[in-house]
Structure 1
């Protein structure tokens, strides 16, 4: 491979398994990427990909090249990390993948606090209604609601968090779960629940949801319009007209985990950021949950 820029292009296409998906990562158009890959293959005298309408699949040589290129990427990152030395502040770009509950209600203020201490740091929050693919380097690290069972990944538990049934404070009160009959239930689109830990409504004996979304932020907006649903306690302070109800009847506990590439654990910059991120999320969840409890509707 002629230079690192060629390697960077090759890795992005290999991880994305196509030109269109790799283009935003590299900030290049797909046609330019196609020409770069074709030139690289000509220079090598061998094919790295099998091209088809479904995407770019690696050849045997491409698989070996990807492994070596990924190793080189890690070594270069370590060199850059060492070059940063013992600076007081973090610099460069770090991308975090997260489910939209954490992305909407926790990460903006947590990351803002980290950036206030590190003004040269650029943080990107990738909010997705699915598990972030770290193997394709969609992000430098990810927050998940279940620890991954496979892959070369390191996992640290961040914190537990609570969820309760919630509704508008001016709605007709609920005295028991039986009163849910006839109410508009808000929840996930059933066939888009990407993690069993998100199947909140299994805790409630309801036939189905009348208002659904794959986004918890949208679900909260639906509840603000007159629905009833399971809400993260840490999201309730962002919707003051919505209150926790029947906390003794419905109380769920879930956890957030921080997932990183095993090969990144020696990168001091990412490790320092991960430490600050975990501490910030722990503090913010505790703060917001305290606020939510203070505004909970008392039993009728």
Structure 2
């Protein structure tokens, strides 16, 4: 009979594909992960992984065990919630991944609202430049501007937000206010670091033009907005962030309209569990409620 606890090590190695990342997630030494996998394979008399130069790849028996082990994992995760928490009182931690800009300028305040409404919930907001892999359980829920790809993900569109060109009074005083879209190429811009753009739709300035003159670049939308507010150049910023700084002046609001969709995704096994359902419902409600805030001046 195999050791049920070995399935924890099996699942993490299957998701990470390498010993060291799996060990970090499990907070053990990589040799422990290797030993537990070897013991599981011996107990089952099956080869679960092919050891390759770039990592561990599931064999056919490994894939079959992975499907079973995931179901066992989700049943175990739901034990405490099923036995101790009433459906109206979700409890526990929910990790939500998003891009830095929408996380800092929009989601953080909305999750503060959720904390008041559901004090038993703790949302952990993780911001990254790249899309978090829900299949590897790097997060429970993802908020993104493109629909993510992955096995057994439930993905839906929550709504949309608008972006517009902004400048600071200091910039307008020194270089003038562009009156038409045709004047934009002669102006100076604030933009992303081109070779570090992890998700192409985030490089939204390219929807308007490819700037000839750029004074400042950053992978951080927050940093870009601060540079624009200081007069470094014109920037294309989401309304949900630009509205937080009264120094920012919108430019060519009728001529330049850039929109992005907001998608929420969750692993199918988590979608209907109480605490995850509560977060998903809250996100749907606030994005619908804030539709005008996200898209209108």
Match of 2:252 in 1: 246
RMSD of the alignment, in Å? 2.7
Partner of 1:171, secondary structure, is: helix
Whether 1:213 aligns to 2:218 is yes
Change (3 A) 1:138 1:215: same
Partner of 1:136, secondary structure, is: coil
Match of 2:269 in 1: 263
Asked if structure 2 preserves the Cα contact closer than 8 Å seen for 1:16 and 1:136, the reply is yes
Asked if structure 2 preserves the Cα contact closer than 8 Å seen for 1:96 and 1:125, the reply is yes
Inter-partner Cα distance in structure 2 for 1:92 and 1:235 = 29
Mapping of residues 146-165 of structure 1, within 5 Å? 146-148=146-148, 151-165=151-165
Whether 1:48 aligns to 2:48 is yes
Tell me by how many angstroms 1:2 deviates: 4.0
Asked if structure 2 preserves the Cα contact closer than 8 Å seen for 1:19 and 1:30, the reply is yes
Moved more, 71-80 or 124-133: 71-80
Asked if structure 2 preserves the Cα contact closer than 8 Å seen for 1:233 and 1:289, the reply is yes
Mapping of residues 1-300 of structure 1, within 5 Å? 2-86=2-86, 88-148=88-148, 151-172=151-172, 173-208=177-212, 210=214, 211-225=216-230, 226-283=232-289, 286-287=292-293, 293=297
Tell me by how many angstroms 1:11 deviates: 0.7
Asked if structure 2 preserves the Cα contact closer than 8 Å seen for 1:144 and 1:258, the reply is yes
Query: 5+ residue gaps in structure 2?
Result: none
Query: 5+ residue gaps in structure 1?
Result: 294-300
Asked if structure 2 preserves the Cα contact closer than 8 Å seen for 1:237 and 1:288, the reply is no
Inter-partner Cα distance in structure 1 for 2:229 and 2:39 = 55
Inter-partner Cα distance in structure 2 for 1:183 and 1:31 = 57
